[in-house]
Structure 1
Amino acid sequence: MTYHRAGLLLLFICGAAWGRAADRPNIVVILVDDMGYSDIGCFGSEIPTPNIDALAAGGVAFTQAYNTARCSPTRASLLTGHYPHQAGMGHLDGTFVAGSLGYQARIADTSVTLAEVLAPAGYFTAMSGKWHLGQQRGTPPWERGFQRSLNLQAGGTHFPNQTPKAGAKLYLDGEELALNDPRFGDDWYGAELWTDWGLKFIDEARDAGKPFLLYLAHCAPHFPLMAREEAIARYRGKYTQGWDKLRGARHAKQIELGIVDAGWPLAPRPKGVAAWDDLTDAQRDRFDNMMAVYAAMIESIDVSVGRVVDGLRERGELENTLIVFLSDNGGNAESGPNGRTDGDGAIGSPDSNVFLGQSWATLSNTPFRRYKHHTHEGGIATPLILSWPERVAGAERGALNREPVHVIDVMPTALAASGAAYPQELGGHAIEPFEGVSLLPALRGEPLVRTNPILFEHEGNRALREGRWKIVTFGSQPWELYDMRADRTEQHDLAGEQPDRVRAMAARWDAIAKRTHTESIDRAKKQRANKARNKQPAPPAGRA
């Protein structure tokens, strides 16, 4: 029996126990954008996130959870249970390579989304927020199983009147609408709007007498960093102590909480990031202002989580709702150590254009190194919280699960919870088996059943996580090897000491990559260019 068929059999057994028609749970997936590993309170942050912390206290927090290092690839994996290239989204939405299965810039026809699986099982399926999964190439949410949707095609929009996104549109069930359409009002903030409509869709599901899937995809805290003025003011001055002291404080809190092991050293401040004490007062004030906006955006997410949880409780739906909370990649160092503050308005206003930058992203990713785009831990580690009040065993409430898990696990988790059948064919297309495993055993304190390593590739950066071991590369550099049980901050490369292990793991990376259409974007472009040249007819012979 192959791994995938065995996984399907196990899934249906779990479905029989967890997903009877009479008690099928609602499923709410909350995805945030560009949030680092340590940016919420229960993972070490000084930013107050009481609602997210309460979600973790009543559920299970996974300390070794992974995304795919980038926005669109993570969203594709989360919704399909496939690796990004397998789902057609090996790179950012809009990145298309003709003839490449991994770079279709749309959700592949050989993949199915959570909505396409749950709708036939009687679920009301809805999404609110950022899509960024090939809407312009034929895979908008309303064509991929979502019966109700309010979405941005891409993201980065937080206010209806912001300058950098002038001309952006919202789409309500496929109808293109202006940001200030009367149905939304002219004073909304993104995290509030997505939550308002998410709760509206929940009410519609209840009116229809159906369990529901709500995919709530925040744009925060992705650049351009923007928040309401009063929220920013609450954090002004709180970051004048700087990233060096705050990284130390977050690391100490993580150790105290049990999120990280005390034996893992804090990754050193990278070259290019200045020591806070070496900055001028004006520089410190600017950086404080930038981080105040970012913290206000994290607060807005926490308020949204609280509104969703309270809304479910008020409607009598909370106990039988499976909630998943995570981030799409690690903290974002784009724009370099100084970040970016331009535009015509005050920092964080609708007329500004602010990028957090590498220096503060180093704080966001505490205790790890590297960032979004990279397959070292700083790029792929995410907080992951699973809550299902009715089904979390008493002893597991507030537990920390330390097993490696990945966004590909969301699909099989939803299937096991709902009892929905995963199709072998849809719309005339054969559907590839899902890759992940159900996370539901963790709610009962039982081990997960994972037999395959976890694969990563983005922009030539590769990794493979197999049990306690991880191989990883930065671009074209040689494989590095880390013992994640002893050194998850990747400070001691063991590749030179264990070359046989590296070779064996690299061979497994190659085998899984081949099966899942995984290749670097540069390799894909070169191969297709060479293939196109080889198809050109030979030029006519010249005269003798």
Structure 2
Amino acid sequence: MIPIRLILAMLLVFISSACAKHNDTDSTTTQPNILLIVADDLGYSDLGSFGGEIDTPNLDKLATSGLQLTNFYAAPTCSPSRAMLLSGMDNHLVGLGTQKYYWSEEQKGRPGYEGFLNERFVTLATRLKDAGYRTYMAGKWHLGYDETTYPSARGFEESFALLEGGASHFDQRGVIPNASKANYRKNGKAVALPKDFFSSAFYTDRLIENIESNRKDGQPFFAYAAYTAPHWPLQAPEENIAKYKGKYDAGYEAIIAARLQRMKELDLIANVVEANPGAEVYPTWDELTATQKKHEARLMEIYAGMVDALDLHIGRLINYLEETGQLENTIIVFMSDNGAEGANPLDIEAGKNEPNATWIPNNFDNSDDNLGKAGSFVSTGPGWARVSSTPSRLYKGFTTEGGIKVPAFIYYPQMARSKQKSSEFVSVMDVAPTLMELAGLDPKSTRYQERTVLPMTGTSLLGYLQEQQTSVHGENFSAAWELFGRRAVRLGDWKMVWLNEPWGNGRWQLYNLAQDPAEKNDLYHLYPKIVHKLKQAWHDYVKRNDMVVVDKVDILYSNGTSHYKGAQVSK
């Protein structure tokens, strides 16, 4: 018997094809095109449609015209999220149980902790390519560092990939001394960058070039736009940065209050919600010196310029699709890979050469006049990360809401749920199964080229998108996260979080997200039955994914507190 979901998917493909032909496009595509856009370290409230003051008209138009996912969750950091995105499975199964170089002794050599995409599954790109899709990728890969794990080996016929987790945005400088020159691969071959390189512009150009080269061949495309903005180092064209001069002089708390009010007006949060006050180890705006305030405001101006430029170039890609008649038959999924970045890149212990704490000051020009330009290397820090995460607790690297709840939306002209907001819980793992079914494929398949592979475990949203069902996950659905020993488990509105000190107390804490989305009030001792259920769900998660969980979070990244070091605060 053919599963009802696949019947629905095939019907949708037929409708999409009919609509595309009715709109006189020159494509004979019968399956929808797929554009998957990932921003790097974008905070939940940074886009205008999610409450931010940054000018993002192109993304806002897509979000408000499509289905705005206000309860979408990724992993705490980049490569685990990207692994789940392309696999439809938990990161602990597919090779990114932790990020490369952050293994504990117990995790080294264990399946699921390879530090790159393993061979236990088949990527979304490979499945779509086998089904007749043209598959393109441009931007950050961060899922493997040799020819067997490049994008070209995992389903992308055309790729221009940054192998590492970050790089300068104007040139080929890396972000750690062990990779002081960033490694780029074009279809698996080492390549240098052009002199006029700017990351968001270049990746957009590559994808437009790829799509245009095969536009008239009748095959649908899958394009993975893996932008590196707004990941540090903070760099953007001066014209984008200049738009925000003086806009952040009011400081963290004032911008948080303004964003919080807009989020309430946009019906993203309830009127009673208050923002998390932030970690006590960091100063408030009023506790900074005048010199610090000036420097901090400049950092956020540059960050806003990066997001502004990102939106501009995504707009170019969307305009190209519209002008060539392809937008009507294209589903667009947008998301950030994790919460905003609050950690200091100086706190990265980068290997055998030297730590970032000395390498960055010795090799980059962070004078006031050069901030945001080529050759500079700064980050926003924990204060502005708190702003970007409004109203949530903490940021990237943590299993709190600020680390894993991210902005996301789906745009598709053939989708019934358009011009809506959805508060349904959705995971990054749900994206691949959704796109598989939309293409008429079975995400639960366990066979590939005469070998057994793991099936996708995420849940397809297809029925929900077409208003064939009223929810995505069942009542008893639970979700869980773990990275660097930090963990979280959720069942309905209840969520338990385990964080090391000083971010937590080294034990589980319980929150009701419906009443307390900022995770301010620990209810652990008040609801023992809820705690018991969540602990059981956690143990089931660990067992199901064959995880190695450590209690000691023995890394400097996201634990260091050096952002304000060297500058006086009045505290």
* TM-score, length-scaled by structure 1: 0.89
Contact 2:134 2:220 in 1 (8 A): yes
Cα distance in structure 2, aligned partners of 1:298 and 1:197: 19
Q: Match for 1:313 among 314, 322, 325?
A: 322
Cα offset, 1:274, TM superposition: 2.1
Aligned to 1:124: 134
Matched, 1:75 2:75: no
Q: Tell me: CA distance 1:521–1:135, structure 2 relative to 1, closer, same or farther (3 Å).
A: farther
Amino acid at match of 2:201: E
Cα offset, 1:337, TM superposition: 12
Aligned to 1:91: 98
Amino acid at match of 1:149: S
Question: Within 5 Å, which residues of 2 pair with 1:349-388?
Answer: 349-388=373-412
Matched, 1:175 2:184: no
Amino acid at match of 2:490: R
Q: Tell me: CA distance 1:488–1:193, structure 2 relative to 1, closer, same or farther (3 Å).
A: same
Cα distance in structure 1, aligned partners of 2:373 and 2:396: 25
Q: Tell me: CA distance 1:10–1:83, structure 2 relative to 1, closer, same or farther (3 Å).
A: farther
Contact 1:129 1:219 in 2 (8 A): yes
Residue 471 of structure 1: SS of its match in structure 2?
strand
Cα offset, 1:328, TM superposition: 0.7
Residue 34 of structure 1: SS of its match in structure 2?
coil
Q: Tell me: CA distance 1:104–1:163, structure 2 relative to 1, closer, same or farther (3 Å).
A: closer
What are the superposed Cα offsets for residues 267-323 of structure 1, whole Å, 9 maximum, x if unpaired? 114313323233332211111111111001111111122112111101101011010
What are the superposed Cα offsets for residues 369-392 of structure 1, whole Å, 9 maximum, x if unpaired? 111111110100101110001x13
Q: Tell me: CA distance 1:468–1:278, structure 2 relative to 1, closer, same or farther (3 Å).
A: closer
Q: Tell me: CA distance 1:493–1:232, structure 2 relative to 1, closer, same or farther (3 Å).
A: same
Residue 548 of structure 2: SS of its match in structure 1?
coil
Matched, 1:438 2:460: yes
Aligned to 2:496: 471
What are the superposed Cα offsets for residues 301-352 of structure 1, whole Å, 9 maximum, x if unpaired? 1112211211110110101101000001111111299999952251111111
| Of 317-326 and 254-263, the range deviating more from structure 2 | 254-263
Identity %: 36
What are the superposed Cα offsets for residues 390-437 of structure 1, whole Å, 9 maximum, x if unpaired? x133xx432110011110001111012110234422355421121211
Contact 2:168 2:174 in 1 (8 A): no
Amino acid at match of 1:19: V
Matched, 1:266 2:262: no
Aligned to 1:244: 253
Matched, 1:198 2:207: yes
Aligned to 1:14: 8
Cα distance in structure 2, aligned partners of 1:46 and 1:103: 39
Cα distance in structure 1, aligned partners of 2:94 and 2:401: 23
Contact 2:44 2:388 in 1 (8 A): yes
Contact 1:191 1:304 in 2 (8 A): yes
Amino acid at match of 1:45: G
Cα distance in structure 2, aligned partners of 1:429 and 1:94: 30
Cα distance in structure 2, aligned partners of 1:191 and 1:48: 16
Contact 2:365 2:375 in 1 (8 A): yes
Aligned to 2:420: 399
Question: Within 5 Å, which residues of 2 pair with 1:138-153?
Answer: 138-153=148-163
Amino acid at match of 1:172: K
Matched, 1:507 2:536: yes
Q: Match for 1:304 among 309, 313, 322?
A: 313
* TM-score, length-scaled by structure 2: 0.85
Question: Within 5 Å, which residues of 2 pair with 1:198-217?
Answer: 198-217=207-226
Amino acid at match of 1:435: T
Cα distance in structure 1, aligned partners of 2:279 and 2:553: 31
Cα distance in structure 1, aligned partners of 2:550 and 2:201: 36
What are the superposed Cα offsets for residues 255-275 of structure 1, whole Å, 9 maximum, x if unpaired? 110111222221114313323
Aligned to 2:233: 224
Aligned to 1:450: 473
Q: Match for 2:431 among 397, 403, 410?
A: 410
Q: Which runs of 5+ in 2 are unaligned?
A: 18-29, 349-356, 555-571
Residue 481 of structure 2: SS of its match in structure 1?
strand
Cα distance in structure 2, aligned partners of 1:93 and 1:130: 15
Cα distance in structure 2, aligned partners of 1:135 and 1:428: 27
Matched, 1:459 2:480: no
